[in-house]
Structure 1
């Protein structure tokens, strides 16, 4: 910076102001400094800067490395929101989700000197590991944790509300029962959707059977759809994600059924292409871009104020052509 200052004929402080986009620098002075920076090939030394400011400008993100639409979209949204806020992210991917692997990832970030950590936590096993680091640095867990400990700041889409919106929509159309094809119950999001579906069904006086256990794949949805066709076909099925719904649609089509005339189908996530399913899929849109912005806003509040409040985002039901009154 001293070299830049000498080349531009300004003070060290003026160079600092230009680098930090300070408004009180005359345009001609700013231009002279930028020319000197370009000619000298100056680059900031982030390590040296971190020693002075005690901030690295980097946030750690722990994720499961899932290629599923929800976790991957959340990661992308966090990265974009962080860049908008002037931060970069460093990602640690866990192949197995347990306390040991989570602890190793968090210790890695502590060694990197990140300013804060975001944990994309679809599984319940991460809470104990996160709690062990509660006093180390600001941390936000992206998950719908029932009754989370006070030490854990959570940001999440309201999964229960999303499921309730589905049940309300189908009940308003006249369906007396909504069969739920669930995601794996070791996933917090899947658990929240089951709770919302069950409680809203009971509140509206609908028949409630046990959910049909599933995973997150279209293949599972297809297999379940074939079984439903061979048995007592329901009038409406709420799938825990859009991939499961896609499998259901194929199974019903192969059986000669017409959706939604014979059976209504609803998904969750509003994945890219859901509007082009046959028929276009009614689904719950979590709003991942807004979720990413809310996550970064929450962790920056913790950095600046020493604490942050848990936050929940309201999802939206997108009604398309896959739902109709019961046959």
Structure 2
């Protein structure tokens, strides 16, 4: 799902494109979530936190000391996971997509900012980015206030290598920072409060930005990740989850669409994509646009054949 805008600062700033990337969960993610959701004896808030960890990567849940009374099936899954020496990327739909984004960032030669609500996720991403030969800067709640501006200045400096990524805690660095040194931003996970996400996503599209900006929100399909996004849309409307100034009528989500937080859906199509009634082909391209592209390809092939015949 793609939306190009916004109209508010379009004349003063370069173009901005926002993407919602629905990431299919791995089999391990689905199994772990289903086991957790079946355990209705556990504290619901604890389950929610575990589900959010799994939606980012199973290791963020399995790496913790599982509390006493954990379902035997989860314990067995944890043991199986610990015995594996490969498949780290494939065990998270988000990480598969994120790896593709890193490759694209490296090819474009553009710096990027990555936001997450969780320090453990930032730890994982720091190691992952370094494996892709990126220089990593980090700004979270542990960084003293007086040091934050130094990090920002260093990151925004044109002399800083293009293969630099800044990892930022959504709550610690989501407001007030001007990160125009980057033209790419990834929101690795969403917040229950849409205002926090809006503030974070606005960090690179600020006064002084000279380059076109691309903003990616990652969502693990069929999981609590998608339920959080749905609640944001129900509360503010689709346009408003990208633009703070936009005020639109929210689409009609029924309560039953939102109350099943503890259910994991395994359909190929994103539930949000279906409810929104979007007519794209799942990649932001509508059927009409696809037909035009195919017609253009057909014309090009015909011209090529004619040239060869001549």
> TM class, shorter-chain normalised?
0.3 to 0.5
Q: TM-score, normalised by structure 1?
A: 0.35
Tell me which of the two structures has the higher relative contact order, counting C-alpha pairs closer than 8 angstroms and 6 or more residues apart. Answer: 2
